[in-house]
Amino acid sequence: MTRDCPATFLDADSLDAGDLDWSTLHAVLPQLECHARTAPDQVAERIRGRKVVITNKVVLDAALLDGADRLSLVCVAATGTNNVDIEAARKRGITVCNIRDYATPSVVQHTLALILALRTRLPACQDRVRNGEWSRSSHFCLLDPGIEELHGQTLGIIGHGTLGQAVARAAECLGLRVLISERPGSTTIRPGRLPFLVVLETADIISLHAPLTPETHHLFNRETLARMKPGALLINTARGALVEPQDLRAALVSGHLGGAGVDVLDPEPPRADHPLLADPPPNLIVTPHVAWASRAARQRLLDQLANVVRHWQAGTPINEVGIRT
């Protein structure tokens, strides 16, 4: 199958900054053609005649799949598959596979970095040094009454999958007490979990690791943010649309929340006038969707892509994605 398996990667530069080893993927797909990026009006031509298509964020809808006469496998170079019409692919006999559990160490590290930076007020400390305040000080240090210790504080985890569990384990090493939220609106509370609103009202820090679904879209809004403990932190390394941005901005500006660290926005890339980018409040840290993107994590993703293709070629597909509901 590797001899006659024309393949294309539609947006390779979304994964590679020139620092990855592609040999494993090229070994299983010798005919792989890589495009740095693909505009919507280029997709149909680039997938025509290909047996394997790899996409990170390029959309493959039903109409495009209809025109891909030889397509047998779509690999999503990510975990989320909302950019592919899964049901349309199934009806056409196209296998869709994704990449799983490749970025856990990177996301855990980034989540903790955001928490530590906010509780230690690192951006403010750096600004005070840069503007010469320390040099003008009459003392050896610049005391900041806003600095807090994490030890003894409570971290609420919203979304207790692989990432949420890993963050919880790491947080306990810093002396944080961890609370696991049940699914919002659930009337059944599983052992080891607490009702969503109880976690909101109790936790000093809330960290989001939930998927984006119709039920979780703007889960954190004016009402739920108001239920959070005064001075609490909100950390989002999951999906931008879990949080209503205007409401988060208002909660930060009012001082109800002590701070927020977000690695994801909606949409991406965000507009310059996005509520969390235009004149951002000082207790907000925004990073450009890089929690997943350590070099090691991106290499694991690429190597897993090769493994997915290899299993599909052997007739034993892995990481196959079912119909979205």
Judged on CB neighbours under 10 Å (0-12, 13-18, 19+), 12 is buried
298 close to 77: Cβ distance less than 8 angstroms: no
Active-site residue flag, 249:
no
Q: Which of 123, 118, 143, 107 is nearest to 232 (CA)?
A: 118
Residue keyed to tokens 């690429």:
302
Any idea how long the chain is?
Answer: 325
Options 35, 48, 218, 289, the catalytic residue: 289
Q: Where are the alpha helices (DSSP H) in 132-195?
A: 162-173
Options 268, 271, 295, 320, the catalytic residue: 268
Active-site residue flag, 222:
no
Contacts of 318 (CB under 8 A, 6+ apart): 97, 307, 308, 311
Q: Which of 107, 78, 79, 103 is nearest to 235 (CA)?
A: 107
CA distance 23 to 299: 11
Active-site residue flag, 289:
yes
Options 46, 193, 239, 249, the catalytic residue: 239
Active-site annotation, residues = 239, 268, 289
